Structure 1
């Protein structure tokens, strides 16, 4: 199942990337979407960085049958591998989100690009549940969780930029 979302920030790409590459922002983002159990790590690398966020999420909004199968919480591990900016100031990250103990994950890209005096962040991914016969139903049940997490990241970014 394809998941796509774009949003803008009223800040230059350098400032937005600086935010993405800080432990403080990643912890804020993880806190906004977790049960309070999270860890965030940022490792600088070749004019880019690798972001690793691990968080425990409630399954309260999952259908009963799915919640019974996975439990009251899920541990989600998100990795973003950001490369250097190109000549136009665009940065791209490989995105990998996996659910521990479940054959469900999202692979895709995140793109940070200049947009007038601000920036646009575009996330595109493919959500897959590798379970014969039930994969599509699980993808449909999990998609709102992934979309909510993306919306929470957008809000956390706006708040972080406004306060820093």
Structure 2
């Protein structure tokens, strides 16, 4: 049974600057380099008219994985992530995110929302984590959800810092 995930974080920047960062190829290059982890890289970035679609891979070394995961998946956990953002209009932009785990029946998917004004912004997401493994699936979903939310916190912190350094 899928486990719902939800998260919301403030970014101390105007919504137009946050959106400008999110639809910038350079932002994604810098983000994956700084917080992507071992072997992380961008697979593709397609930016057109204030929208973007990004595919990236990240991995978690086997020694950092809990036993519940290594019981069914040997080696590093390679994750392909997707994220897309639509145009900014009326102080908001919508998007989608997803992730699949190579060689494992695990997926994450959902929607994102950027809202804000001239002084601050909020980035929110809601979605589901699903691991189709009998008996252990729920435990693995909980672990994945926790790891994803921690990663998203780091990404939101990075976004605020990146805007301060690049979009003055």
For Structure 1 versus Structure 2, the TM-score category normalised by the shorter chain is 0.7 to 0.9
1:34 partnered with 2:37? yes
1:121 partnered with 2:127? no
Higher normalized contact order (CA 8 Å, seq sep 6+, divided by chain length): 2
2:55 corresponds to which of 31, 48, 52: 52
Q: Give RMSD over aligned pairs.
A: 2.0
Q: Distance in 1 between matches of 2:21 and 2:7?
A: 19
TM-score, normalised on structure 1? 0.86
Q: Distance in 2 between matches of 1:22 and 1:47?
A: 9
TM-score, normalised on structure 2? 0.85
Q: How many residues align?
A: 163
Distance 1:14 1:115, change over 3 A: closer
Structure 2, unaligned runs of 5 or more: none
Deviation (angstroms), 1:162:
2.1
Distance 1:94 1:106, change over 3 A: same
2:140 corresponds to which of 138, 141, 153: 138
